[in-house]
Structure 1
Amino acid sequence: MWKLFVILIIVIAGAIAYPSPIDSKAFQPSRSLAMNGVLAPNDALQATQLTTLPAGMRGGEDIAVDVLNCVYTGVENGDILRKCTYSDWEVLANTGGRPLGLAFDAQQNLIIADGEKGLLQLTPKHDLSTLVDQYQGEKLGVVDDVDIAADGTIYFSDASALFSLKDHFFDGLNAQPSGRLFSYNPTTKALTLLADDLFFANGVAVAKDQSFVLVNETFAYQISRIWLSGEKAGQKDTFLDKLPGFPDGIATDKNGSFWLAIFAPRSQLVDKIHPLPWVKNQLAKLPKDMAPVPPAYGFVVQLDKEGNIVQSLHDQAAVAIGEITSVQPESDGLYFGTLHGREIGFLP
């Protein structure tokens, strides 16, 4: 028995001595908004209608709809898919990476935020090209989401400059914000850094009046606002914080409100260990399949232009849809994307 004890001690000591893939910092999460009032759980999302992706494909992370009301998404294997009412799914192109965010410009070019390849463009003739994949001579990290202003300026997020897409969980534990928000001028090819030191820069949305752009900071449970015009132009402030889950995608509705996708509720375990760097460093050594995974939950929130929560839609047991990564408001309803699901969703 004593030999087994000695071996166990040696194994534990070796595991502790083994270098961690992160060098985390202490972080004190904000206190979450209470899940009552407009945030009270309901099951409104159980009315979501599902459209199955082609066989073997999954992870329609974001949704875009063109002028003909055809639906586009990008999946795990890099394919860009289109489905029109009169046809089945079509594969238009493959990025060679992981398409995450999608948005159409005025010329109906599909602008793609690819977590591995950078900011891409797919023309109506299905020609794929790279708009930008470097900043100041260094490769962009995880290009995550994109939105386009009325003047054609493209705004996009780079979630992390420290970790790749496959290691994004490390970015949350690390608590050393390295996310960025950029603007790209497709005419001059100018790339401008608007904000940095963001806690995993994720969803992006330009205000209807073009006065500011929002960017979600997933691991800080908040939405930041960067002013584009007026006295505060160039300044960053907090649009909404203390969110009860991990904000992912965000989109602007035609009425000027915003729809926010919350990927999952907060993890009490993660919040409790955030102030403890040593514990987080040890946790990062474990196999990824041992990482804490919150239960599947469907959750989207509507915000007014001031950042007030107007309503929330839930699917508490993810009966119809869970782990929602994007919500795209269109004239006929809301379209939902997910990170790993085999379907995309639509709520009339």
Structure 2
Amino acid sequence: MMSFVLERVTSFGDAFLGRGEHAVTVPTMDGALQPNQALDAARSAHCIPQPDNLTVHGDRLCVTSGNSLYRWNPDMVACELLNTFDATITSMVSLDGETVLVGLDDGRLQFFGGTSSGREIGKIGAYRAQCPTAILKIDGDRVVVAEGSARHRCSEWRHDLMAGERSGSVWLLDLKASVARCLASGLAYPNGLARASADSIVVSESWRHRLVSIPLEGGSPSVLVADLPGYPGRMTPAHGGGHWLCVFAPRSQLVEFILREPKFLRRMVAEVPEGYWVAPALSSGRDFKEPLQGGAIKSMGILKPWAPTRSYGLVVHLDASLAPASSLHSRADGRRHGITSAVEWCGELWMASRGGDEIVATPLD
């Protein structure tokens, strides 16, 4: 009770002084997040429309694009189509050498491969599949599922941000026993999962721009990394310890300001097509009708790499203590924006640029 009262008082003070969650300032990219051109210099592995999920499945690499599931073998130079689902794939995890579990945009979880292929999960106990943004295998038949929102689908992530939603949750599911337990709720779009220790997980909370730790027994989240300069998404293990964190879109002072103007937000959402909202994007610069910021206008036909931008490419390497150690960027003038997945495979880091319609790879060293 005391902690709740303290949180409310702190929130009121922050709102009055314009700090904390109520500030419109955005942290600069510096130190380990110093901008570079590493993503634009990476090798082009394959061009594919809006690649999203990358998952190592046995000795193969699986990738999703819309409602299609593809795979690479180590000796292949191109990917092959494995299956087409009846809804867009929003999340994926490899359960064993044969089976993958995918989350779909209509909320269902569906098995593909193995003896359970075709089996669907819509609800287990109190769990209701609505917005499966990430899935993490714990052990045996247990998985953790991040539900980004209780009111919006994954494809409606901008609506969730603009509405100021805090309805996300994280669930521990026993697939064999059909038992579900809520680990945390009231989260601001949980969008990535990773194992922190034997008894806790790390969750990326996109709309609060932070990483939190949640016990597998359930409980209040504890902040591990706060005030990131973008919206954090999926996480995967890194060789030698640590994790790779995908930051799928940048923050900006303009968007932070708009989020604090409810009347303008309501009119914008009701009257303006979504592609032209003053909101984060996975790609930009392709339509002259997009909202512009003065510094992002081309000068002499050239877009400055340091210009304000609605989209960006960023993958952060977190060390064992989850502190940023290094990063790979595609800046305002780059083309490999909207990085939604990054995994290590065959000695390289493979990354899905959903905004750039491309999968790129770079050596781990």
TM bucket by the smaller chain? 0.7 to 0.9
Is the contact between residue 162 and residue 178 of structure 1 (CA under 8 Å) also seen in structure 2?
A: yes
Number of the residue aligned with 2:181:
192
Give 1:305's aligned amino acid. Answer: A
Matches within 5 A, 1:160-175: 160-175=149-164
- Equivalent of 1:267 in 238, 252, 266: 252
Say which is worse superposed, 169-178 or 88-97, in terms of deviation: 88-97
1:233-290 deviations in Å (ceiling 9; x for gaps): 6342112110001111111224330110011211221101222222221221121122
Whole-angstrom distance in 2 between the partners of 1:102 and 1:318: 31
Question: 2: CA distance between counterparts of 1:167 and 1:75?
Answer: 17
Structure 2 residue 213 is matched with structure 1 residue 228: no
Gaps of 5+ in 1: 1-26
What's the counterpart of residue 242 of structure 1?
227
Distance 1:111 1:318 in 2: 36
Question: TM (normalized to structure 2)?
Answer: 0.78
Matches within 5 A, 1:1-348: 28=22, 31-53=25-47, 58-68=49-59, 70-76=60-66, 78-87=67-76, 88-124=78-114, 127-130=117-120, 132-134=121-123, 136=125, 139-207=128-196, 209-228=197-216, 234-285=219-270, 286-292=272-278, 293=281, 294-317=309-332, 319=334, 321-330=336-345, 332-348=347-363
Q: CA deviation at 1:331?
A: 5.5
Farther-moved stretch of structure 1 (95-104 vs 132-141): 132-141
Q: Which has the higher contact order (CA 8 A, sep 6+)?
A: 1
Runs of 4+ in 1 over 4 A off after TM superposition: 135-139
Q: Name the amino acid aligned to 2:54.
A: I
- Would you say the 8 A contact 1:146–1:205 is kept in 2? no
Share of identical aligned residues, percent? 21
What RMSD, in angstroms, separates the aligned Cα atoms of the two structures?
Answer: 2.4
User: TM-score normalised to the size of structure 1?
Assistant: 0.81
> Greater CA deviation, 335-344 or 245-254?
335-344
Q: Distance in 1 between matches of 2:140 and 2:25?
A: 38
> Over residues 41-75 of structure 1, what are the superposed CA-to-partner deviations in whole Å (9 max), with x where a residue is unaligned?
1112223222335xxx512211012222x221111
Whether the aligned pair in 1 keeps the contact of 2:99 and 2:111 (CA below 8 Å) is: yes
Give, in angstroms, the shift of residue 159 of structure 1. 1.0
The residue number in structure 2 matching 1:10 is none
Q: Displacement of 1:304 after TM fit?
A: 2.3
Report the CA distance shift for 1:298/1:250 in structure 2 as closer, same or farther (over 3 A). Answer: same
